[in-house]
Amino acid sequence: MRRLLILVPVWAWLLAFVAAPAVILLGIALGQSTEGIPPFAPPVGPGLVWQGSLGNFATLFEDEFYFDSLLRALRIATSTAALALLLGFPMALAIARAPRARQALLLALVLLPFWTGFLLRMGAFIGLLRDQGLINGLLIGLGVVQEPLPLLYTEGAMLAGMLHAYLPFAVLPLYAALSRLDPVLEQAAMDLGATPGAAFRTVTLPLALPGIIAGFLLVFIPAAGEFVIPELLGPSEALPVGRVLWQEFFQNRDWPLAAALAVALLVLLILPIRLFQRLESRA
């Protein structure tokens, strides 16, 4: 009973800020776009008359623009998460194997970027990458190139920014998994004939799997809906879903369509989560 009481605030929070908004969002998605305030007609009209439709969802599938933006967001999120794991794994391993006293300092360094404002850091990226920026200035000054390289407003710039912003979310769960791993296990593997590579592949990697999965999801999920970084660093065409959502909500004011897009993104994100949970429970 006491256990249940402790959980009351948690459930209240989830109900108020997760379940209720999701229901409202779904309601808007089933409604019709109008010219009023709010700019939509709910799916259930006065006198409990059903006036909703699945038209907005149909539009998502019919208009390639929306479908592509979803796929693009998933692709960018996958790349970001994969790169964050590739970069974060050696970092986390090095921190976990460092002397105990130094681990806290190294972890603090991983989190150090959070101490500076997010927009400032993105501004720094723009300063680095733009045509008159540091990198192009240096390359031209050294005579490596004549014309500035198009660095800013590319997928590369966007991925660099995403990686920079989300790397700590991969490093922390990886560190948590790797620091729990007894280094004696790798020694036992090598004692039984495993080369360091084989010991890593057969012992360290599978035992770090929960951390890998958690790190992937922690980067993948927010990266899939990210709209600020693509806006600031990415190409102006070929928008990912986060930016399309922004446009539909605030520029086109087509709330029902935007809501439908948000619901579609939510469903698409739940799939990989379920998949990874399956993997994790087997590991």
Partner 1 sequence: MADTLLEARGLTRRFGAALALDALDLAIRPGEFFALLGGSGSGKSTLLRLIAGLDAPDGGALFLDGRDITADPPWARPVHMMFQSYALFPHMSVAENVGYGLRRVGVARGEQARRIAEALALVKLDGLGARRPHHLSGGQRQRVALARSLVMRPRLLLLDEPLAALDAGLREQTGFELRALQRQTGAAFVMVTHDQEEALALADRIAVLEGGRLVQVGTPEEVYWRPATAFVARFLGAANIVEPATLPLKPQVAGAAAYALRPEYIRLTRIGGASDSDLRAIRPSDHRTLGHEETGPNRVMGVVREAAFRGDSTLFVVALEAGGALRVTVHADDPMPEMGERVALAWDPDDLAPLAA
CB of 87 to partner 1, least distance (A): 25
Stretch in the footprint of partner 1 (CB under 8 A) among 1-9, 15-23, 106-114, 177-185: 177-185
Cβ distance to partner 1 smaller for residue 127 or 206:
206
Q: What is the DSSP letter of 99?
A: -
Element (H, E) at 214: helix 209-225
CB of 207 to partner 1, least distance (A): 6
The correct pick among 60, 83, 203, 233 for binding partner 1 (CB under 8 A) is 203
Alpha-carbon distance 147 to 56, whole Å?
Answer: 46
Please tell me whether residue 7 binds partner 1 under the rule CB under 8 A: no
- Picking from 97, 275, 122, 81, the residue whose alpha carbon sits closest to that of residue 200 is 97
User: Which residues from 123-142 bind partner 1, rule CB under 8 A?
Assistant: none
Cβ distance to partner 1 smaller for residue 201 or 274:
201
Three-class SS of residue 185? Answer: helix
Quick check: 121 and 113 in contact, CB under 8 A? yes
The correct pick among 114, 191, 270, 271 for binding partner 1 (CB under 8 A) is 191
Three-class SS of residue 205? Answer: helix
Stretch in the footprint of partner 1 (CB under 8 A) among 104-112, 125-133, 189-197, 271-279: 189-197
Please tell me whether residue 82 binds partner 1 under the rule CB under 8 A: no
Quick check: 85 and 216 in contact, CB under 8 A? yes
Please tell me whether residue 63 binds partner 1 under the rule CB under 8 A: no
Alpha-carbon distance 230 to 28, whole Å?
Answer: 26
4 burial (CB, 10 Å; 0-12 / 13-18 / 19+) is: exposed
The correct pick among 86, 94, 105, 283 for binding partner 1 (CB under 8 A) is 283
**How many Cα atoms occupy the beta-carbon half-sphere of 220 within 13 Å?**
22
Cβ distance to partner 1 smaller for residue 190 or 268:
190
Number of residues that bind partner 1 (CB under 8 A): 18
CB of 184 to partner 1, least distance (A): 5
Binding site for partner 1 (CB under 8 A): 182, 184-185, 187-195, 198, 202-203, 206-207, 283
